[in-house]
Amino acid sequence: MKDTEAKKLATEMLTLADIEIDGVRPWDIKVHNEALYNRVFKQGTLGAGESYMDGWWDADRLDEFFYRVFASNIDREFAFNWRLIPYFAQAILFNRQSKSKSRKVGEQHYDIGNDLYKAMLDKRMVYTCAYWDKADNLDDAQEAKLDLVCKKLHLKKGMTILDIGCGWGSFAKYAAEKYDVKVLGITISKEQVQLATELCKGLPVEIRLQDYRDVNQKFDRIVSLGMFEHVGSKNHRAFMEVAHRCLKNDGLFLLHTIGSNVSVHSTNPWTDKYIFPNGVLPSIKQIGASIENLFIMEDLHNFGSNYDRTLMEWFKNFDKHWDKLKGKYGERFYRMWKFYLLSSAGGFRSRKLQLWQMVLSKNGIPGGYKSVR
Which pLDDT score is estimated for 76?
72
CATH 3.40.50.150 residue ranges of the chain are 96-304+351-361
Tens digits of per-residue pLDDT, 286-316?
999 999 999 999 999 999 999 999 999 999 9
Say if residue 89's pLDDT is above 50. no
Cα–Cα distance measured from residue 92 to residue 16, given in angstroms and rounded to the nearest whole number:
32
Cα–Cα distance measured from residue 201 to residue 79, given in angstroms and rounded to the nearest whole number:
46
| Higher pLDDT, residue 278 or 359 | 359
Tens digits of per-residue pLDDT, 58-69?
999 999 999 999
pLDDT band at 91 (very low <50, low <70, confident <90, very high): very low
pLDDT band at 82 (very low <50, low <70, confident <90, very high): very low
Helix, strand and coil content of the chain, in percent to the nearest 5, comes to 50, 15, 35
Mean pLDDT of the chain: 93
- Of 238, 233, 243, 237, whose CA–CA distance to 278 is shortest? 233
Tens digits of per-residue pLDDT, 120-171?
999 999 999 999 999 999 999 999 999 999 999 999 999 999 999 999 999 9
Which pLDDT score is estimated for 85?
45
Say if residue 250's pLDDT is above 90. yes
- Of 106, 48, 118, 117, whose CA–CA distance to 279 is shortest? 106
| Higher pLDDT, residue 74 or 75 | 74
Say if residue 93's pLDDT is above 90. no
The DSSP 8-state label assigned to residue 287 in this structure reads: H
What pTM was computed for the model?
Answer: 0.92
What average pLDDT score do residues 201-224 get?
A: 97
- DSSP symbols for 95-148: -TTSTTTTTHHIIIIITS-HHHHHHHS-TT---S----SS-SSHHHHHHHHHHH
Which pLDDT score is estimated for 105?
79
What average pLDDT score do residues 86-99 get?
A: 50
**CATH class of the domain at 96-304+351-361:** alpha beta
Rg of the chain on CA atoms, in Å: 21
pLDDT band at 107 (very low <50, low <70, confident <90, very high): confident
Say if residue 271's pLDDT is above 80. yes
| Higher pLDDT, residue 333 or 74 | 333
Kind plus residue range of the DSSP H or E element containing 359? strand 353-361
Cα–Cα distance measured from residue 99 to residue 235, given in angstroms and rounded to the nearest whole number:
10
Which pLDDT score is estimated for 100?
56
Say if residue 99's pLDDT is above 70. no
Bridge partner residues of 300 (DSSP): 358
Cα–Cα distance measured from residue 337 to residue 120, given in angstroms and rounded to the nearest whole number:
11
pLDDT band at 1 (very low <50, low <70, confident <90, very high): confident
Distances from the Cα of 320 to the Cα of 126, 141, 317, 329, angstroms = 18, 20, 5, 15
What average pLDDT score do residues 319-330 get?
A: 98
Which pLDDT score is estimated for 3?
85
Lowest-pLDDT choice from 20-24, 84-88, 115-119, 244-248: 84-88
Say if residue 94's pLDDT is above 60. no
